[in-house]
Chain A
Amino acid sequence: MNVAIVQFPGTNCEYDTQYAFEKLGAKTELIWHKETVISDSTDLIVIAGGFSYGDYLRSGAIARFSPIMNAVESYAEKGGKVLGICNGFQVLTESRLLPGALKRNNNLHFISRHHHLKIAGNENVFLKKFEKGSVVNIPIAHHDGNYYIDPDGLNALYDNDQVLLHYCDAEGNISNPNGSVDAIAGVCNAAKNIFGLMPHPERAIESVLGSDDGIAMLEGFFAS
């Protein structure tokens, strides 16, 4: 399992992501955004969290034009798996590789805390290890995590089973921290090879730090 982790100026979760995947037995490589090639042996590209380009203009808006993004797009077009976490999710929506957009949290606060999430769609590699409707506990840390999609787009997401996660409470009741449409915390594309979520599974891999629910998410990408 080879994981390529994209690093923009301002990315700050690349080493956590690297640590998490290596702990699970993957080989990882950091790819600087000025690179133009992704190795053919790559099994997964991760666009890690952080504040690429200082979130200037809009979160992810400038990073999407970095040279590496052409390689990411062609890799994804060929069916390669891509995971965007937090700022990575923002980069993927700005690139139109994922539908919708992420705007400022409704309460205008930067929200950094553990949050429960309900598994909405599990017929994909990312969440295949979870039961539909089960609840996990994963940290969130974002200012612009308020997922927006228009009503037609939302219907299309549900029709194609592209909604991955909803924010909820410990009992699984919908609880919306940031104003996202339908409390959506993560989505995938129609082909189910591109995944984006605001929560940070790579920060939930040690029970001593509050949760290890992120392991089964990341493990979904491993063969078998």
Chain B
Amino acid sequence: MKAIVNVFLKPGVLDSQGKAVHHALGALKFGGVNDVRVGKQIVLDIDAIDEAAARAEITEMCESLLANTVIEDYTIELES
């Protein structure tokens, strides 16, 4: 099963990279961009019995390693 984990800084934690990209887009005359967040995407190919099991296991991976929950939030998308 393929799983996509997206990790972003929590709202309220300053995203310096997002801010710099936002600024650069403005410099390139792309108007109407209200906010930019830069995160990372981790793509996993895992063995799992079903989606619930996969989600449970990936949640554990995120909590322990893939994200630092002091500063980051994560989302999990599954593709069978």
Q: Which A positions have Cβ atoms within 8 angstroms of B?
A: 57-58, 61-62, 65, 93-94, 100-101, 103-108, 146, 148-150, 179
Partner of A104, one of B17, B65, B68: B17
Q: Is B36 part of the binding interface, using a Cβ–Cβ cutoff of 8 Å?
A: no
Interface of A is mostly: loop
Q: Are B65 and A101 in contact (CB under 8 A)?
A: no
Chain B interface residue bracket vs A: 10 to 19
Q: Are A101 and B71 in contact (CB under 8 A)?
A: yes
Stretch among B8-16, B26-34, B50-58 lining the A interface: B8-16
Q: Is B49 part of the binding interface, using a Cβ–Cβ cutoff of 8 Å?
A: no
Q: Which B positions have Cβ atoms within 8 angstroms of A?
A: 9, 13-14, 16-17, 20, 65-66, 68, 70-71
- CA–CA, A155 and B20, complex, Å: 30
Given A103-B71, A148-B70 in contact, is the A108-B20 Cβ separation under 8 Å?
Answer: yes
Q: Are B71 and A105 in contact (CB under 8 A)?
A: no
- CA–CA, A104 and B16, complex, Å: 7
Partner of A148, one of B17, B20, B66, B71: B71
- CA–CA, A149 and B10, complex, Å: 12
Chain A CB count within 10 A is highest, among B13, B20, B66, B70, for: B70
Tell me, rounded to whole Å, the shortest Cβ–Cβ distance linking B22 to chain A: 13
Q: Are A58 and B68 in contact (CB under 8 A)?
A: yes
Q: Are B17 and A108 in contact (CB under 8 A)?
A: yes
Q: Which residues of B contact A105 (CB under 8 A)?
A: 16
Q: Which residues of B contact A106 (CB under 8 A)?
A: 14, 16
